């Protein structure tokens, strides 16, 4: 394995772990449900995306030919993350989960 591939791999791995961890910290730390929604939909999808990319580079550089079927996982997560965030926000507004005090604007109830 050449040096450039190795450094890219290490950077991507650490970035993936970092973003996954930051998403979880956001989930644990942020004040209300609607702000917590931001953690998983962004930080975590980017985290898994970086880890998947490092997996592609690792197996490609081992000389078994380029196979990008891992990328399907990332594509699927990027397609589904907004949908689950949206439907969870709808459910929370329907139940009447309250926002934090310093939120501007109101939730809907239709």
Between residue 6 and residue 45, which ones bind other proteins under the rule CB under 8 A? 6, 9-10, 13-14, 16-45
Among 48, 60, 63, 66, the residue binding other proteins under the rule CB under 8 A is: 48
- Cα dihedral 43, 49, 53, 55 sign: positive
* Contact status, residue 73 vs residue 81, Cβ threshold 8 Å: no
75 Ramachandran zone, left/alpha/beta (phi>0; psi -120 to 50): alpha
Q: How far is the CB of 102 from other proteins (least distance, A)?
A: 6
Q: How far is the CB of 99 from other proteins (least distance, A)?
A: 7
Q: How far is the CB of 51 from other proteins (least distance, A)?
A: 5
Taking CB under 8 A as the rule, does residue 60 contact other proteins?
Answer: no
* Contact status, residue 14 vs residue 51, Cβ threshold 8 Å: no
Among 2, 63, 66, 102, the residue binding other proteins under the rule CB under 8 A is: 102
Q: How far is the CB of 32 from other proteins (least distance, A)?
A: 8
């Amino acid at each position: 394995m050449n040096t450039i591939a190795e450094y890219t791999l290490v950077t991507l791995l650490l970035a993936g772990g970092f973003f996954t961890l930051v998403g979880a910290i956001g989930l644990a730390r942020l004040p209300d449900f609607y702000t917590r929604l931001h953690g998983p939909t962004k930080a975590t999808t980017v985290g898994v995306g970086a880890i998947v990319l490092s997996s592609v580079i690792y197996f490609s550089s081992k000389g078994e030919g380029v196979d990008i079927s891992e990328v399907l996982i990332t594509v699927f997560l990027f397609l589904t993350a907004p949908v689950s965030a949206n439907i969870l926000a709808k459910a929370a507004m329907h139940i009447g989960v309250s926002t934090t005090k310093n939120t501007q604007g109101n939730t809907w109830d239709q």
